[in-house]
Amino acid sequence: MNAIEIPLSAPDITDAEIEAVVSVLRTSRLSLGPKMEEFEAAMAGYVGAPHAIAVSSGTAGLHLALVALGIGPGNEVIVPSFAFIAVANAVRYVGAQPVFADIDPETLNLDPASVEAVVTPRTRALMAVHTFGRPAPMAALLDIARRHNLLVIEDACEAMGAEIDSRHVGTLGDAGVFAFYPNKQITTGEGGMVVASNSEVARRIAALRNHGRYKSAFGQPEIAPESTDSWLEHAELGFNYRLSEMQCALGLAQLTRIDAILARREAIARRYCDLLRDEPHLLLPPSSIAGQRLSWFVFVIRLAPAFSRADRDHLMHTLTERGIATGRYFAPIHLQPAYAAWCESTHLPMTESVAARTLALPFFNRISEEQMECVGTALQSALRAEAQPLP
């Protein structure tokens, strides 16, 4: 095994961020306090949204966005299968049916033609996922939504900082959701944020994340006066999807570094492209796209079509033996055991072909030049060995 142990991802936490969390622990407010309000305001300002609501995870944000937009039993929501399973799970949480559409082979985002083909009279919404931090084709998807009277929820959980024509993704549809898991561009450990332009939708999401408890006016401090009857007034069935003050403090501190973080991740992606550009058995992601700003969540390569899923998995095993972690992004949702009922009726040839050949390389803010070179050398060596039987 190589002496360099290289993880797939790692959080980037500075002393300033540790102190921000510790400072909250010295106060009497650990939940629903001023740090939450500051974090929400800072996120709204950063992405250019009128309202931002902090929640416990990106999954929670997707769930609440669906509830707040009135999606439920009898409705269908179009989602990609080449995505993290939360996009489909959230649809099922509200009693609606996820309907899977195929992806574009270049962008790995929803293919608008495939979306159009699965619209039915029961379709109520579509969920646009900005896969790996590359913006989805929002102009085409919004046009489909307009013509069929559909709601649009943007899953921007992997795409904080990504833009289309200088507008942040997450702000183009009826609601957008960001996530702050440790492998994301910024982290709160666990956590998410929902953004919306409609004040009533935002107000309802804020209430639903706190057991259905509405404030007298959206934007007023959410104080917990346990000694008064108002604390026990819950207008509708809600959830415990709150984000703690410690997590919000961490998110605030991380957000102050967002420009430097995004620049560093872009530099890492470009370096990987330089190291691997002459490898004939790989398809690399584009380092730039006209009219868009990419936000690098992961660095995912694709093996050439001649390779199989078994080849990919063997390659992963070889790299693991050399001390290099890799990841499968993504196993199609419709082929997961939890979605067995969808498997027979869902045919997504591009999703299945791409998913069998994708491989995520180690990618995090503090990865070193030596580590990247080690990954590049080991990968190309393993590929040459793997490709020997190929013509």
State pLDDT tens for residues 293-308.
999 999 999 999 999 9
State pLDDT tens for residues 313-370.
999 999 999 999 999 999 999 999 999 999 999 999 999 999 999 999 999 999 999 9
Q: Is residue 157's pLDDT more than 80?
A: yes
Q: Is residue 388's pLDDT more than 70?
A: no
Domain range summary for the chain, segments of one domain joined by +? 15-101+109-255, 258-386
State pLDDT tens for residues 233-277.
888 999 999 999 999 999 999 999 999 999 999 999 999 999 999
Mean pLDDT of 176-199: 98
Q: What is the mean pLDDT of the chain?
A: 94
Q: Does domain 258-386 have CATH number 1.10.10.10?
A: no
Q: Is residue 288's pLDDT more than 80?
A: yes
Mean pLDDT of 36-59: 98
Q: Which H or E run includes 126? A: strand 123-129
Q: Which H or E run includes 116? A: helix 112-117
pLDDT for the residue 231 = 58
Only one residue has tokens 């944020």, namely 193
Q: Is this model's pTM higher than 0.85 or not?
A: yes
Is 35 among the residues known to form the active site? no
Percent of the chain surpassing pLDDT 70 = 93
pLDDT for the residue 386 = 77
Q: Which of 35, 63, 124, 184 is catalytic?
A: 184
Q: Are 231 and 204 in contact (CB under 8 A)?
A: no
Q: Is residue 178's pLDDT more than 80?
A: yes
pLDDT for the residue 215 = 76
Cα torsion through 82, 11, 252, 164, rounded to 10: -40
Q: Return d(Cα 58, Cα 279) in angstroms, integer.
A: 36
Highest-confidence segment of 3-12, 215-224, 234-243: 234-243
Only one residue has tokens 């060596």, namely 381
Q: Are 327 and 301 in contact (CB under 8 A)?
A: no
pLDDT for the residue 230 = 57
Q: Does domain 15-101+109-255 have CATH number 3.40.640.10?
A: yes
Domain 15-101+109-255 matches domain 258-386 at the CATH topology level: no
Q: Return d(Cα 260, Cα 8) in angstroms, integer.
A: 21
